[in-house]
Copies of this chain bind each other. A is one copy, B any other.
Amino acid sequence: MSIPQRFSLVTLGVADVETATAFYHRIGWRETHSSVPGEVSFFATPGGVLALWETAELAKDAALPTFHANAPAFRAVALAINLDSREAVDDAMGDWVLAGGSIAKAAAATAWGGYSGYVADLDGNLWEFAHNPAWPLDERGLPVIG
């Protein structure tokens, strides 16, 4: 098998790249020079790259003939940002809302011994903010799991 166990890029479909990018700017994120204003935005991270691209363009690129750009509130995919305390989760949720994002589920203690909440961006892309004491974060801020 020749498929390496990794992912290079996660692309989130959005209705309008400029509007969506402005939201991620408001949470404090900065794009790379590779971005093409209004067409595609790339955000470098310590792991893979996060991209924002028009949902219709993504569908076309993947040769998927039909899609419902704005229909599903739930896309069956979630990204998570793990943080090093419950307070950091609360702060992040607050900043998200200040930036114009919405809360799907308020932060609360979880069955797995941590603390988390879910938010959505302007297009319904789902993010979780979590503190998981069982998953320490390395120097890049990424979880180390056994």
A74 CB contacts on chain B under 8 angstroms: 59, 62, 64, 66-68
Known A-B contacts A2-B88, A7-B47; A75 and B73 likewise in contact (beta carbons under 8 Å)? no
- Name which residue of chain B comes closest to A58, CB basis: B78
A55 and B74 CA atoms in complex are apart in Å by: 10
How many copies of this chain are found per oligomer? 2
A104 CB contacts on chain B under 8 angstroms: 62-64
**A6 and B62 contacting across the interface, CB-CB below 8 Å:** no
Interface residues on A, range: 35 or more
Is A27 part of the binding interface, using a Cβ–Cβ cutoff of 8 Å?
A: yes
- Name which residue of chain B comes closest to A76, CB basis: B13
- Name which residue of chain B comes closest to A108, CB basis: B63
- Name which residue of chain B comes closest to A74, CB basis: B67
Q: Which of A87-145 contact B (CB under 8 A)?
A: 88, 91-92, 95-96, 99, 104-105, 118, 123, 125-128, 130, 135, 137, 140-143, 145
Q: 18 A-B Cβ contacts within 8 A?
A: A1-B27, A2-B88, A3-B28, A3-B95, A6-B141, A8-B142, A10-B10, A10-B78, A11-B78, A11-B80, A44-B145, A47-B47, A47-B142, A55-B76, A62-B78, A62-B104, A66-B73, A67-B73
